[in-house]
Amino acid sequence: MDAIVGLGDSYAAGVGSPDPDGLCWRSRSAYPIQVGTALGRDVVLNACLGATIADVLANQLDSLSADTPLVTITVGGNDAGFAQVLTRCALPAWMGDSDDVLDEAAWVIRDVLPERLRSLYAAVRAKAPNARLIVAGYPRLWDRPEDCNLATFFSPHEIGRMNQAADELAIVIGAAARDSGADFLDVRSAFTGQGVCERVEWIRGVSWPVEESFHPAPLGHRAYARAVLDSYGRRETAGIPAKPSVRYGVDCRGSAPTFRLPDLLSGRSLRGAKAHGLDTDEVAALGERVRQPQPDPAAHDRLRELDAQVRATR
């Protein structure tokens, strides 16, 4: 099969674009499909929501062959706990601290991820020995240490550490890709000025459905496609189909969890509020008022005040 094959996680599957399909949330706006359309090549999109490196190895490589001309990959974020980190950092201060999960993510990126990535790239090479292998990394989520979203409580410290993790992830993925003879696309600069809470977001903030939160918006997926096409040289070959076809791979959702909003009405929230001297009735009432899809901005402003009050005591 001489189709382009798109491997990886939700960033490669197109999550954050309209009309997600199946358990994997694949979209026709996913960057591998945009690349195939531009090159006039058929595409097999195997990338999937929640996919880890192990999931890619188990479920996404069957479409590869000696005839595969191009393989794109974006994966590794879920191995580092992408959703778990976001979920913990989004909590208000009275529900706990996030440094432990951030520390664990940094350890995985530094000490675990390199060998996993090299093993994956070697497996891809073995099944598609003649393919061009393009590995696309991840952007920073924020340009400024400011959380503008309702119902989340990311602190400047947490935003800074998450951006630092994105930088470390780029270094590790880039080194593993180059060691394997693959092209690495560092997309951080392309997304600069277009992060969460910027005037034009290429990375979504809190979104509905919530699975789309902190994923590329359509403009972000387009930026990924441009980066791949620029790297590939937009080369076309004789005999390309006039209307490229798109086929989805096995619809087997990845093993990693997805982002969850804080549950301000949970026992954990109310116990934490009480332990920090907050009025639990007020916290519960405010929590009701910020429940989506119609959050009350004034209630969230008050919750931010309580969050800052608790953080100031640490």
The residues annotated as belonging to the active site are 10, 215
Q: How far is CA 71 from CA 8, 17, 33, 261, 262, in A?
A: 10, 21, 12, 34, 37
Residue 267's contacts (CB-CB under 8 Å, 6 or more residues apart) are none
Q: What is the DSSP string of 240-284?
A: --SS--EEE------SS-------TTSHHHHHHHHHTT--HHHHH
Residue 309, classed as helix, strand or coil, is: helix
Residue 105 phi/psi, 5-degree rounding, is -60, -40
CB distance 81 to 87 below 8 Å: no
Residue 73, classed as helix, strand or coil, is: strand
What is the Cα–Cα distance from 161 to 59, expressed in whole angstroms? 32
CA atoms within 13 A on the CB side of 117: 33
Please report which helix (H) or strand (E) contains residue 5, including its range.
strand 4-8
Residue 291, classed as helix, strand or coil, is: coil
Q: What is the DSSP string of 8-35?
A: ESHHHHTBTBSS-BTTTTB-TTSHHHHH
